[in-house]
Homo-oligomer: A and B are copies of this chain.
Amino acid sequence: MKTERRTIRKYSSKAVEPQLLDQLLSEALRTQTMGNLQLYSVVVTKDEEMKKRLAPAHFNQSMVTNAPVVLTFCADYNRTTEWCNLRKGNPGYNNFLSFLNAATDALLYCQTFCDLAEEAGLGLCFLGTTIYNAQQIVDTLQLPKLVMPVATITLGWPDEQPALTDRLPLQAVVHEETYHDYSANDIDRLYSPKEALPENQEFVRINHTETLAQIFSDIRYTKKDCECMSESLIATLKQQGFLK
């Protein structure tokens, strides 16, 4: 497996062969899944017009229209519910637990696909915007009730080799036996190396903030935006039948 991965946003004009895409999507089916129910679907977008229609949901990030393939991974209890209904069962999956079970299945499947695709030399970009404008994606991809988009990746052959981005040290994310909350000293020790990197200091400069953290809390992921998008996300979950 490639452990030196980087996000790829520029793709060559070379197509992703349908056989290769099917092979990778098939191999990823081995991923563990709740009760072996495979509570996910993936919508494959290759059509230029469909990419254009999806783009606004992803804030018109150029990867959506430039990548040869866009994959939208969905939590899907619709198919399983139809199966149960046709087999004299009494499915009851129009609730929040079932959404999170299906979202988990979909995200695990998505990540194994990503790991396999990168191992095959493909490049991809994971779009966190999927849950910001889920309703637009539901409408564009015609997702029925009990289907909810949870992840999107743009996929193609890499046409760039960006520098590796930094990561926090392992001690920042691992806790032995119980969670040990972070003191101010811990935060300094764990985040100072990241804050000192030239690329992050440049990032602060061009964002006109005082600290690196402020770029995230005050510009990119603000309280106001998170609260507003939480409301629309909850509204979409209700409409898709996963919340009362």
Contacts and interface: CB of A to CB of B under 8 A. Distances in A.
Contacts of A234: 96
Given A31-B111, A43-B175, A87 B3 contact: no
Q: How large is the interface on A (under 10, 10 to 19, 20 to 34, 35 or more residues)?
A: 35 or more
A150 B104 contact: yes
Contact of A168 (B4, B38, B184): B38
A126 B216 CA distance: 32
Nearest to A227: B95
Nearest to A26: B170
A37 to B, nearest CB: 6
A46 B87 contact: no
Contact of A97 (B27, B31, B36, B233): B233
Interface stretch (A56-64, A139-147, A155-163): A139-147
B178 A142 contact: yes
A144 B181 contact: yes
A98 B178 contact: no
A210 interface: yes
A168 to B, nearest CB: 5
Contacts of A131: 97, 100-101, 104
B115 A213 contact: no
A40 B170 CA distance: 11
A174 B25 contact: yes
A202 interface: no
Interface string A20-33: 00100111011110
B222 A84 contact: no
A120 to B, nearest CB: 10
Given A84-B216, A128-B34, A104 B107 contact: yes
A35 B7 CA distance: 12
A135 interface: no
Interface of A: 1, 3-5, 7, 22, 25-27, 29-32, 34-38, 40-47, 50, 74, 76, 78-80, 82-84, 86-93, 95-98, 100-101, 103-104, 107-108, 110-112, 114-116, 119, 125-126, 128, 131-132, 140-144, 147, 150-151, 165-168, 170, 172-179, 181-182, 184, 187-188, 191, 210-214, 216-218, 220-224, 226-227, 229-230, 233-234
Closest 6 CB pairs of A and B: A92-B223, A89-B217, A111-B111, A87-B213, A87-B211, A84-B217
